[in-house]
Chains A and B, each alone.
Chain A
Amino acid sequence: MHIVVCAKRVLDPDGVNGYALWGRLKVDDSGRAFDTGGTVAQIINAYDEQALEAALRMRDAGAECRITVVTVGGEDAGDVLKRCVAMGADHAIHVVDSEARADGFRVAAIVAALVRDLGDVDLVLCGRQGSDYDQGTLPGALAEALDAALVTMAAGVAVDGDTAIQVRRAVPNGEEVVRAQLPAVVSVSNELGQARYPSSRGMLAARRTPPERRAASDLLAGREPGGVELVQLVVPDVQGHCEIVDGADAAAKAAGLMARLRERGLLHA
């Protein structure tokens, strides 16, 4: 079985939180990026890392499979692939495209073209969404382009015979198990659990195996697909009108708070 895993790099969300939490997040002159003076690292989207982990666990469980990681993006977007190979992916492909940015529909068209070109792909695993734009466009748009089954919110994936997979899904009231026909696109959620760390042997392998480079323009053969264009980032104002309820001790503070909530009709007298 040939599994393709889609991975992209994002600004480290903890780094962005670090700025946002203290009200110091600013947008730079381009209007489309944060002004963090380069202090926030670009890392692999955690959900994508978990998608790769799902593939590696299928292999650990005895599935005979080849795992190819794919990223679409500008010249330096390929960084994340090294980590993926070090984790255990067999092969890495960087599709160079400077247009894609925040447009999951364009990325889906490019990945679909690549998957068709590879010819033998049975399963595509993606993260449920990017932790940057939170859109979750790729899995659905890709499944449509490939006319494949779509399963979202996976917490575990296993092969089921030659033509199907079983997927454990995180749903609002717990978990369900579904059986999906191949070819399929599966998006993986954090319920899958912690991804493995690269081994030192893996890191050596990653150094020896540079990613294969492909040009998006070749794959698209003259088409210019596009869904959305990010025109601006804005940091919203936070309403900061907190009344701190003080008192001599915890009991007094609690009483003061409850009295105010009762006054506002939020509790019954």
Chain B
Amino acid sequence: MPEHVLVLINVSPGATLRDADREALGAARALAAARGVPVACALIGHEVAAAAAEAAERGADRVLTADAPSLVPFAGERFLPVAADAIRVAEARIVLVPRGPDLLEFVPRLAARLDGASVIGVVAVRAEEGDVTAVATAFGGAAHAVYRFRAPGPRVLALAPAVAEAPERVAGRTVTPEPLTVSDVLPRVEVVTPAAPLEGPRLEDARVVVSGGRGLGAADRYALIRELAAALGGMAGASRAIVDDAWASPAQQVGLTGKIVTPDLYFAIGISGASQHMAGCSNARCLVAVNTDPQAPIFRYAHYGIVGDCLEVLPELIRIAGQSGEPKA
């Protein structure tokens, strides 16, 4: 197989592609065009047929699949050899990885295994002189760092949100999947006590997110954030400041070290707008800020703002949201 730009996707059982996967395919097509090579997409998990079909419809020229119960739930040491096999089969120099919760567990190690290098949080990839440079967030998003590659092996790039558009879906475009090798791995890390199963909707998928910060002033007022979120049919998020203070749970943290959300509508209430928080929400389609301080940095990112005390504004927002009938699904 000649060189392909490879997209490496970890698929949940039976799932189609996620937005992040589709964006990665879009980015791969642009890079592949610049390098004059085709796109390959590896789908790794169990029951990956739906995702594989969609990858073909969204422009993958080769589809590589690893479909085995042993690949679920995700474990770095089982995923890694399969991913390395995909890179070898696709003769990939450039490997794109969609954002996800497990990047730190496999991206740098995968790059190191193949004598390559990785960059995480990539906001732009530039094709240059037969190679690429990667622009990635640094200092929590306060800056962008431009990296050149020195390693001889593949460049593994984990993408930030909105690096590219999802390619149009061409119904009926099919590619016959080629199976990857899933070898037995002697596990060195075993789960003793699993986390509670993921139930209900995920913050990452919510179309409306209402987040509260230290400006709420006290733990019990976080209830107002939940109320507004519920009235808008959305979910409640939080800044790290109030997660650290246990006003909200770690699962609700938005930001660099929390969840990255991409809703249509994001409320930042009593949140200052530190770059590490914005790293998790700056790709919201519409961002609303409520803050007592008219100079608060959050207003530099917001589309709409209210300068005022959130304890006065929140009950009004809840009242109006409650009146306006069914929220957007």
Contacts and interface: CB of A to CB of B under 8 A. Distances in A.
B184 interface: no
B133 interface: yes
B165 interface: no
B288 A139 contact: no
Interface in A178-205: 178-181, 184, 187, 189-191
Interface in B254-287: 256-257, 259, 264-265, 272-276, 285-286
Interface string A4-27: 000000010100110111110101
A169 to B, nearest CB: 8
Q: Is the interface of B mostly helix, strand, loop or mixed?
A: mixed
B257 A176 contact: no
A153 interface: yes
A174 B251 contact: yes
A129 interface: yes
A131 B206 CA distance: 28
Given A250-B308, A261-B265, A172 B198 contact: yes
A179 B189 contact: yes
B146 interface: yes
A25 B108 contact: no
Interface in B189-213: 189-199, 202, 208
Contacts of B81: none
B105 A150 contact: yes
Given A178-B190, A229-B150, A257-B306, A141 B109 contact: yes
Interface string B92-125: 0000000001011111111111001111110000
Contacts of B230: none
B151 A226 contact: yes
B142 A17 contact: yes
A113 B106 CA distance: 22
B85 interface: no
B188 A229 contact: no
Contact of A243 (B76, B303, B321): B303
Interface stretch (B28-36, B171-179, B310-318): B310-318
Residue with the greatest number of chain A CB neighbours at <10 A, chosen from B116, B117, B135, B313 = B117
Nearest to B107: A140
Interface stretch (A83-91, A114-122, A232-240): A232-240
Contacts of B232: 267
A139 B189 CA distance: 15
A48 to B, nearest CB: 15
Contact of B146 (A22, A190, A232): A232
A114 B41 CA distance: 38
Contacts of A244: 294, 299, 304-307
A172 B317 contact: no
A213 to B, nearest CB: 26
B144 interface: yes
B15 interface: no
A98 interface: no
B195 A175 contact: yes
Q: Select the residue from B149, B250, B301, B305 with max chain A CB neighbours within 10 A.
A: B250
Contacts of A136: 103-104, 108, 120
Contacts of A178: 189-192
Contact of B275 (A17, A129, A145, A180): A17
Nearest to A255: B320
Given A172-B198, A228-B117, A261 B304 contact: yes
Contacts of A249: 312
Contacts of A177: 191-193
B138 interface: yes
A230 to B, nearest CB: 6
A254 B272 contact: no
A139 B104 contact: yes
Contacts of A172: 101, 198, 202, 251, 259
Contacts of B147: 102, 228-231
Nearest to B142: A20
A222 B167 CA distance: 47
A143 interface: yes
B151 A227 contact: yes
Contacts of B199: 173
B1 interface: no
A179 B305 CA distance: 48
A215 interface: no
A173 B104 contact: no
A268 interface: yes
A189 B258 CA distance: 11
Given A227-B112, A242-B300, 4 more contacts: A132-B139, A134-B136, A231-B148, A254-B313
Interface of A: 11, 13, 16-17, 19-23, 25, 27, 34, 102-105, 108, 128-129, 131-141, 143-145, 149-153, 166, 170-181, 184, 187, 189-191, 226-236, 238-246, 249-251, 253-255, 257-258, 260-262, 264, 266-269
Give the top 10 A-B pairs by smallest Cβ distance, nearest first: A227-B117, A140-B108, A254-B316, A140-B109, A20-B142, A226-B150, A250-B312, A149-B188, A144-B112, A177-B193
14 contacts: A20-B275, A21-B273, A21-B274, A25-B142, A128-B257, A133-B138, A134-B121, A140-B110, A141-B109, A180-B190, A227-B151, A236-B143, A243-B305, A269-B325
